[in-house]
A and B are shown apart, each in its own frame.
Chain A
Amino acid sequence: MSAPKISVYSLSDLKNTTDDALPNYLTSLKFQQSHFLADVRLALGYSAVLIAGATFYADFKLGWDATKFWTLWAVVVYFILNGALTYWIWGVEKGKIFTGEFNETLVSIASSVKKHKPVYNLQVRYGKPGEEPRVLKIAAPFTRWFDADGFFVATPFQQWLATEIPPIGEADSKKVVGGGGGGGGGKKEEKVMEARQVKGHADSDKTTREGGARSRNSKKAT
């Protein structure tokens, strides 16, 4: 199953596909992904569901009068867990799609889109443990890595990430467009743009094919 075709007019399809591709790419670069956030969310959610299930079963088997007292506590605990889950999703996870570590650098990446704007926003925090993390906000239109038919093309996406985010550039220096370690002054930025355009014209066909193959590989790798 290679990259599935999506509707290019569906913003959530664009975002979800990209959200899925990003961790795949980073883990293929030997980033150590931490699943702590997702695991806590799942644990909170499933504990709540388990309590509701037990309440349902007890009510079904024993009836209302026998279970009245415990039902009160089950309801209280259920809604506390549900509140904690909501807090975890909105207050702690805040749209993070990847947290992990590479070369003793902690990286966390949160994605977002604004309603009806086909632009992918990333907020990246990275830094050595114990240090104040550096915060980087980058954005790019989805058209950069989705073709007109709705297929995800991995190479330009990976180049964008490697160029803009220093730890990724460090891990995958071949994908950094415009030479150097990524980032830099305004002049450099212009060069990067040029380089991208030239490359796009020269072998756009090759890029697409390569991209397709890559995304297949990265799927397999996980």
Chain B
Amino acid sequence: MKRNAFMGGRIRNWIAAAILALGALAPAAASAQTLLNVSYDPTRELYDAINAAFVADWRAKTGQAIRVNQAHGGSGAQARAVIDGLAADVVTLALAYDVDAIAARGLIAADWQKRLPHNSAPYTSTIVFLVKRGNPKGIKDWGDLIKPGVQVITPNPKTSGGARWNYLAAWAWAKRQPNGSDATAKSFVQALYKNVPVLDTGARGSTVTFAQRGIGDVLLAWENEAFRAINEFGREKFEIVVPTISILAEPSISVVDRNVDRRRTRALAEAYLNFLYTPDAQAIIAANHYRPREPQYAKPADIAQFPKLELLTVDQEFGGWAKVQTTHFADRGVFDQIYTPGAR
């Protein structure tokens, strides 16, 4: 900011005045201790609410004023930013694999998933279908998605965490069908992606494509995103279809050890993550359409919104994220084979 000694006097004065005027209005980056939570796309509203509650709670307990900064983006992109040096104190990402990727570069202890209750996932979600009101294409379960003439909207699993859950849920369903095998699952998923006209880079992009642009007949979405889309765009426009089987999505959280040790924010960062397991936070989580780990703390009305369905876990069905990644999403993995020219 102090480098611009080159500018002519008049322009400089003008710009300085403009900056001062704006500076007075912009949020004060005062000397309060700050925490940076690097998160994925759909959690914006959740962490807006959580942060307000945590800041109030911290002030009540310690008398200190703090500020929690948020960064949102595709889960993989966010993990890469942390690896490249984004000074996150905590990460709250869409899947364990992205936290593992940061841990593999030594920024987070390898045993991170054991440090907090419930696999370091204070809330879960699943994958459901969002369709137009009245369900004109009569979509009831995964099998309906590969019918001719049905257009499916889902983001690119290479860049979106949510899209990986979509993909895995479809695969798991196909494999559980009578005579199901890896081969039938692969051809099912291949047929499914043949019906995908747009592959956005993130979950939010797909929701916009489906809800705002009116492309496609069904959106594969995080359950919390499906609820939010209905709230945003109107109950008269969309409805949720719950498949028979889906996947238990466990968005993972961790302190970024190297950053909190350098910035001396470990105590605050750990308090922040522990706060997510408190009754207050669990209630906020349910109110934002994520499934809380401790449903007894949430409002019964919020819990009643979650339909019952069979939820499979990545560990049981696929033998863990490391395996999923190399088999399905790595370069030349199953997903790439689906999109190899000629296979379409």
- Note whether A and B form a binding pair: no
